[in-house]
Amino acid sequence: MKDHLGRPLVAVTGIGLVSPLGWGLEKNWAALLAGTSGITRIRRFATDHLKTTMAGTVDLPEEVAGAEPVPAPVRVERMAEAAIAEALAKAGLQVGDFPGPLMLGMPPVEMEWPQRVALARRAGGHDHAALSKTSVGQRDLYETFLYGGVGERLALRFGTKGAPIAITTACATGASAIQLGVEAIQRGEAKSVIALGTDGSVQPEAVIRFSLLSALSSRNEDPTKASRPFEKSRDGFVMSEGAAALILEDFEHARARGATIIGLVRGCGERADNFHRTRSNPDGSSIIGAMKNALADAGLQPADIGYVNAHGTSTPENDKMEALGLRAVFGEAPPPISSNKSMIGHTLSAAGAIEAAFSLLTLRDQILPPTINHVEPDPTLGLDVVPNEARRVSGLRHVLSNSFGFGGQNVCLVLSAAP
């Protein structure tokens, strides 16, 4: 079983997922199809004087009311661990001796305000030299916020082979991790890969930074109605958290061991530009190029795609540019699209992996998840966004999943039904 370029087909045999809708793949999928929103008011920290006071948070069991929230890297690792464990179980593989590498997509890690304040108190001020001197010997602090540390610990926990690869490409990160895994299998370097996207960045500094960029929705009165991708009154994205892990395998290897094939990652396409730190080039060339590259890599034509899992952040600029790109690739009547972010928010570094997982379930169950909160269509976009209610279909074979990141980092995936 080879693809049109003679490369091994890449099968997905296990998926694990965590999002604001809950812990576990099927729980998330049921909530998504029901049009349930996971967006709530932020309770993790004080939001006085903040322009945005809601997010899609994933709280850990020990974070009961009043407890000190854990740092983002700890949350990232815990969600990743749960997603990988679930994916391995669904793939019928044992924990602790995985036969291939780990490709980890995660956010950049930096020390957070509580730790900085604690250091400043011990140092007697915020002088950089004093802070550096005070931090000497605090190995736990170093290991918590070391970017590659999460990957090292996950690799040890699950027994993956080789050095774990940790990558961050803004909002395309999760899709980039999948692409790395697919390409390793296609080159014959691995028979199996764990590909993962995870993010737990809902903390004060991150919320303030995105707010200063005017990127976040400020529709705080009803958080469940804040994320409105492709809708006329959309006013920004909603920050969120989560993780998704995919077990990727050489198709023949998976079939030989009797694994259930959930679907295929048929093609990957990326295209970057350096137009602006946050905005896409107005000509849409990199967005269009990423979609076309994914189709070419899959050996498919635009007419073969029956549904697009849109990036659909709910910002005025992103949704406009994505619509422009879709029409450039598919013509004036693109296939149905929808945005999972209307329900789970923008999970940032995890988004590409989470949305790839949902795309595979769309193929499995032949049902398109809705774009909720679609009150008034934006007449300038002209898209079928599967408004407000899930839609049953038949004969769906190929889905395009889009991930467009800040800085012009764009990755698109073509997911296909199992043969």
Give the DSSP H or E segment for 181: helix 173-186
Angle between helix 113-123 and 128-135 (nearest 10):
100
Among residues 253, 268, 346, 374, which one is catalytic? Answer: 346
412 in active site: no
Number of DSSP helices (H) and strands (E) in the chain, helices first: 13, 15
CB burial class (10 A; 0-12, 13-18, 19+) of residue 168?
buried
311 in active site: yes
Among residues 4, 126, 128, 171, which one is catalytic? Answer: 171
Distance CA 53, CA 40 (A): 9
Among residues 253, 268, 311, 412, which one is catalytic? Answer: 311
Question: Which token pair is 378?
Answer: 């934006």
346 in active site: yes
390 close to 33: Cβ distance less than 8 angstroms: yes
Question: What SS3 class is residue 173?
Answer: helix
Q: Residue 257 to residues 88, 101, 136: CA-CA distances in angstroms?
A: 14, 19, 50
Instruction: Tell which phi-psi region holds residue 53, choosing left (phi > 0), alpha (psi between -120 and 50) or beta.
Output: alpha
Distance CA 319, CA 31 (A): 24
Please report, as a single letter, which amino acid is at residue 172.
A
DSSP 199-261: E---SHHHHHHHHHTT-B----SSGGG---TTBTT---B-BB-EEEEEEEEEHHHHHHTT---
Catalytic residue list:
171, 311, 346
